[in-house]
């Protein structure tokens, strides 16, 4: 009886050993299989990166002759300086009924995509010392803005010729009525002429007379908001 028990145990051991041998052969066959991989990347055809974002940026030119070297980027208030004047009249020499003029041109930068620009109402220029307590002069002035895609003379004739008038009203609160399109990569230029007028008669604030408006100075600043 004892010998028979040992024979049963030995058969089980042999069976387990045989099973283990069979399993071992199977694992060896799997590990011996051939493998290979392939990679690709998004490039630009020359070995550089091929996925990224576009850029959109505009620049301005306030030079009276729009000299090519005068293009500049002025993203913060007060921005580029426009000098208002008229024939024989400085912007700081207004009397009732006088108008003065200044021009600016806009375009996209060389690497920019196309977009649209919209003129915002005037605000006070940052960091410029003025003499206008209560914003009396600022609130009394009128503004008109004419624009075209070809350069034109920025004076009274700009508002009776072929340019489009996009703003006409009080300096405080009058922005552009429509947007203008700028082509990509400096492909087009948009020209603007600003006219600032001291009305005659002056729209007097309560308790003020015309003499209270003498000797005042302001520095209006306009923002062009551009979107692509």
In angstroms, the CA 10 to CA 12 distance is: 5
Q: How many angstroms separate the Cα of 33 from the Cα of each of 24, 30, 43?
A: 15, 6, 33
pLDDT in tens, 208-220: 999 999 999 999 9
Determine the pLDDT at residue 32. 67
Digit-coded pLDDT (tens) for 40-57: 999 999 999 999 999 999
Helix (H) or strand (E) holding 5: helix 2-31
Q: CA dihedral in degrees (120, 65, 183, 115; nearest 10)?
A: -20
Q: What is the pLDDT of residue 18?
A: 46
pTM reported for the whole predicted model:
0.84
Quick: pLDDT tens for 55-112.
999 999 999 999 999 999 999 999 999 999 999 999 999 999 999 999 999 999 999 9
């Amino acid at each position: 009886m004892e010998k028979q028990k040992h024979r049963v145990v030995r058969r089980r051991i042999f069976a387990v050993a045989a099973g283990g041998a069979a399993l071992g052969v199977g694992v060896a066959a799997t590990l011996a299989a051939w493998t290979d991989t392939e990679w690709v990347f998004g490039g630009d055809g020359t070995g550089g990166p091929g996925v990224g974002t576009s850029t959109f940026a505009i620049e301005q030119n306030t030079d009276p002759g729009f000299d090519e070297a005068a293009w500049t980027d002025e993203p913060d208030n007060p921005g580029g300086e426009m000098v208002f004047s008229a024939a024989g009249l400085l912007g700081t020499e207004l009397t009732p009924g006088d108008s003065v003029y200044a021009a600016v041109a806009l375009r996209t930068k060389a690497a920019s995509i196309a977009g649209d620009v919209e003129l915002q109402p005037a605000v006070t220029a940052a960091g410029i010392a003025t003499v206008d307590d209560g914003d009396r002069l600022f609130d009394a002035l009128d503004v008109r803005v004419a624009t075209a895609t070809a350069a034109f003379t920025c004076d009274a004739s700009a508002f009776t010729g072929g340019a489009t008038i996009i703003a006409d009203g009080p300096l405080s609160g009058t922005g552009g009525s429509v947007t203008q399109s700028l082509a990509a990569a400096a492909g087009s230029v948009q020209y603007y002429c600003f006219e600032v007028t001291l009305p005659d008669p002056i729209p007097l604030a309560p308790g003020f007379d015309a003499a209270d408006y003498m000797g005042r100075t302001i520095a209006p600043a306009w923002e062009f908001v551009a979107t692509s």
